[in-house]
Amino acid sequence: MHAVLLFIRLRALLFAECRHHPVAFCETCRRGYTPEELGTDVGNGCDLCRQCGTDLQASVITHARTCPNLTPTKPLVRMVVRPASQSVRRSYRPSA
């Protein structure tokens, strides 16, 4: 069940961020598919090539990992936990 939910979430991201370019490529037929061409009927062949029936799910996942539209534009911030003894101290200056 969790795999199906992840796949549905991935497809939603592809429709939102990658709708104008191919997100899956069939190595057998040498044909690319946009999210719209793959369709939305999860579980009923939406991840299969329309010409030869090759499973395109690995290609979709590869696209999701490498597409610049799906990667953050800024590096993720690394949070550092400091002991209380090393915390940043603020100086208090009363307004004059």
Which helix (H) or strand (E) segment holds residue 60: the answer is: helix 57-66
Helix axes 2-17, 57-66, angle to 10 degrees: 60
Give pLDDT tens digits for 28-86.
Answer: 999 999 999 887 776 667 788 989 999 998 999 899 889 998 876 555 555 555 565 55
If one counts every other C-beta atom within 10 angstroms of the C-beta of residue 63, the result is 23
What's this model's pTM, rounded to 2 decimal places?
0.65
